[in-house]
Structure 1
Amino acid sequence: MHLLLLVSTICLLFNCAVSGIPKPEEKRVLDRDVLNHAQHFQNDEHNKQYDHEAFLGEEAKTFDQLEPKESRRRLGIIVDKIDADKDDFVNQAELKAWIQYTQRRYIEDDVGRQWKQHNPNNTDQISWDVYRKNVYGFLDDMDPKDLEQGDEHFSYKSMLSRDRRRWSVADRDGDDRLNKTEFTEFLHPEESLYMRDIVVQETIEDIDKDNDGKVSVEEYIGEMYQAPEENEEEPEWIKQERETFANFRDKNKDGFMNQEEVRDWIIPADFDHAEAEARHLIYEADSDADEKLTKDEIIEKYDLFVGSQATDFGEALTRHDEF
């Protein structure tokens, strides 16, 4: 909710472009919390949806359908849960703990759902053959030409190949079966130190459009920003990102990011995502600068935490008992 989460938080890397062919389940995408800097601030503006997903996890989808009044009411209930010591304030530690909780809950729910889906008898392991049949079995009946549809990064063939490789890395004992711990690492490699190499490798493959095994400044910028029309000037924040690439990302000054430089970018040492997000939310909402938040301060900034994207949710809205 790596990934987050990615989730991710959660950034879909596999945009299946094959028309008329059923998609495999969307789990295989790397949540890619790894690109959270680019996602958090886009087009020179703060991306509030990033905060919504960090704060709410899966519940962000529900809150996105709420009218403002209902969104504020539900937010008030959440604030009471976050305030662990019941002192009527939310401090940084409590907010960090809540963000970590929502991420764990998302991962546990996702793994539990998919474990049950692929392992209805709840055995100790899932084999690759069973998983492949469940997710990619439809490929066996397809014309081989159709497998190549899409581009070199997002064809079904490349998706299957990537999943096979990631499965093999997660399979620590090499028996081609995954227990629940290994299956969790397969689904959410961004959450596992053991799987960090595959996260870096997949990230490079997704950004590296010319397949030279490294990331140029244009490929780096392309992850955040679509090239402007001819004669249209790039925004200031993109100019700053180019400078960041030259001065900080490209450490050996060869004009590219290699594997180690990409690792430093997406998995910076000693970076705590939950703590950074908690600090950011407090900074944005702390109107009296006392470094903690009251319920009123949070609800006043409800759009930062849970802001609604729609005003008419009607009868289709799923309501949860806890609210």
Structure 2
Amino acid sequence: MFLKYHLSLLLILFIIKYVASKPEIVPDLHKQHLNAEHHDLQYDHDKFLGEDESKVFDSLPPEESKRRLGVIVDKIDTNNDGFVETEELKKWIQYTQRRYIDDDATRQWKQHTFDRDKNGTISWEEYKKNTYGFMDDMDPRDIEREDDGFSYKTMLNRDRRRWAAASTGDGETLTFEEFTVFLHPEDVPRMRNVVVLETLEDIDRDKDGKISVDEYIGDMYKHSENEEEPDWVVSERDVFKKFRDHDGDGFLNKEEIHEWITPKDFDHAEAEAKHLVFEADTNEDNRLTKDEILDKYDLFVGSQATDFGEALTKHDEF
């Protein structure tokens, strides 16, 4: 759970940085998928297929990937006009996002068999025992020992704080819906303060309660001695100064972090759909044919329209 939790948070930050890098400039959305001067295909794959499915899809031979992608394209084209419009792609991405979240929550709910008394809720004590019970036999020094800024004690406390925020009742028990919010808080309005705080805790290495430009960059790029920063890093420094640090003091406070990771009127699914159309639309008519998508199959089978990797291998229709 410790590793899975940490990786989930890293994924949140990854989405924030590479999809919402410049939410104020919609035409530049495709540029946000550039990392270290190469196109970040894995993010596109996870968005199009879904996180679980993209892992399976990536293991398929190219011809099988194309065949199954063709089946997906037919499903996305809901009006059967032979074209995939941005809105159709957006709805598909929203569907795969929601499916991944629901499947993950269901899997964890069943896997840990929290609700042994069948009352439809999980208590914090049940969750704590099942997830952190191993700590009872650990040396207290090992519990508090930090590894890259994280310790078991830190993660336990963060889970407890997130658990209380996810609850709409007494803060001690969660329904399945609240448990889903606990696992995937990133798009839930009442959880935004928790997500902001977790982001600050992860990036604020000197623990001064704010994020410096070097901490902001350091979370994306590890500088090597005598190495010149690549252009995308120089650009990110400029983004920090012009779009993130509103008061110009050289740091991001909690309010500025909030605006960064939960930008107003920014739709991640729409941004990804526009990006995919931009990358694959060879005749520039702002819509995609099946051939255009299949010609760029390496973009889509590593995209959120394929949260579908698993579906591509499991479903009978393939």
**1:303 matched to 2:298:** yes
Aligned to 2:4: 26
Matches within 5 A, 1:1-323: 24=2, 26-27=4-5, 29-30=8-9, 31-32=11-12, 33-37=15-19, 40-57=33-50, 58-116=52-110, 117=112, 118-120=114-116, 122-151=118-147, 153-229=149-225, 231-306=226-301, 319-323=314-318
Q: How many residues align?
A: 292
Looking at structure 2, the residues matched to 27 and 224 of structure 1 have their Cα atoms a distance apart, in angstroms, of 19
Measured after TM superposition, the shift of residue 172 of structure 1 is 2.1
Which secondary structure does the structure 1 equivalent of 2:48 belong to?
Answer: helix
Q: Is the 8 A contact 1:125 1:180 kept in 2?
A: yes
Looking at structure 1, the residues matched to 116 and 105 of structure 2 have their Cα atoms a distance apart, in angstroms, of 13
Measured after TM superposition, the shift of residue 35 of structure 1 is 2.9
Measured after TM superposition, the shift of residue 244 of structure 1 is 1.4
Measured after TM superposition, the shift of residue 298 of structure 1 is 0.2
Q: Is the 8 A contact 2:46 2:302 kept in 1?
A: no
Which letter maps to 2:85?
N
What are the superposed Cα offsets for residues 253-307 of structure 1, whole Å, 9 maximum, x if unpaired? 1110000111111111100111111011011111111111111110000011115
Measured after TM superposition, the shift of residue 27 of structure 1 is 4.3
Looking at structure 1, the residues matched to 180 and 18 of structure 2 have their Cα atoms a distance apart, in angstroms, of 21
Measured after TM superposition, the shift of residue 148 of structure 1 is 2.2
Which secondary structure does the structure 2 equivalent of 1:178 belong to?
Answer: strand
Looking at structure 1, the residues matched to 69 and 148 of structure 2 have their Cα atoms a distance apart, in angstroms, of 43
Q: Is the 8 A contact 1:96 1:275 kept in 2?
A: yes
What are the superposed Cα offsets for residues 81-115 of structure 1, whole Å, 9 maximum, x if unpaired? 11111111110110000000000000000111122
Q: Say which is worse superposed, 23-32 or 126-135, in terms of deviation.
A: 23-32
Aligned to 2:24: none
**Is the helix fraction higher in 1 or 2?**
2
Measured after TM superposition, the shift of residue 228 of structure 1 is 2.3
Looking at structure 1, the residues matched to 87 and 245 of structure 2 have their Cα atoms a distance apart, in angstroms, of 34
Aligned to 1:6: none
Looking at structure 2, the residues matched to 228 and 71 of structure 1 have their Cα atoms a distance apart, in angstroms, of 38
Q: Show structure 2 runs of 5+ residues with no match.
A: 22-31, 304-311
Q: Is the 8 A contact 1:25 1:135 kept in 2?
A: no
Measured after TM superposition, the shift of residue 246 of structure 1 is 1.4
Which secondary structure does the structure 1 equivalent of 2:73 belong to?
Answer: helix
TM-score (norm 1): 0.86
Looking at structure 1, the residues matched to 98 and 230 of structure 2 have their Cα atoms a distance apart, in angstroms, of 36
Q: Is the 8 A contact 1:68 1:307 kept in 2?
A: no
What are the superposed Cα offsets for residues 4-58 of structure 1, whole Å, 9 maximum, x if unpaired? xxxxxxxxxxxxxxxxxxx647246334133334683210222011100000002
Q: Of the two structures, which has the highest relative contact order with CA contacts closer than 8 Å and spacing of 6 or more?
A: 2
Measured after TM superposition, the shift of residue 223 of structure 1 is 1.4
Looking at structure 2, the residues matched to 121 and 301 of structure 1 have their Cα atoms a distance apart, in angstroms, of 50
Aligned to 1:14: none
Q: Is the 8 A contact 2:54 2:302 kept in 1?
A: no
Looking at structure 2, the residues matched to 96 and 318 of structure 1 have their Cα atoms a distance apart, in angstroms, of 23
TM-score (norm 2): 0.87
Q: Is the 8 A contact 1:71 1:307 kept in 2?
A: no
Looking at structure 2, the residues matched to 321 and 237 of structure 1 have their Cα atoms a distance apart, in angstroms, of 43
Which secondary structure does the structure 2 equivalent of 1:56 belong to?
Answer: coil
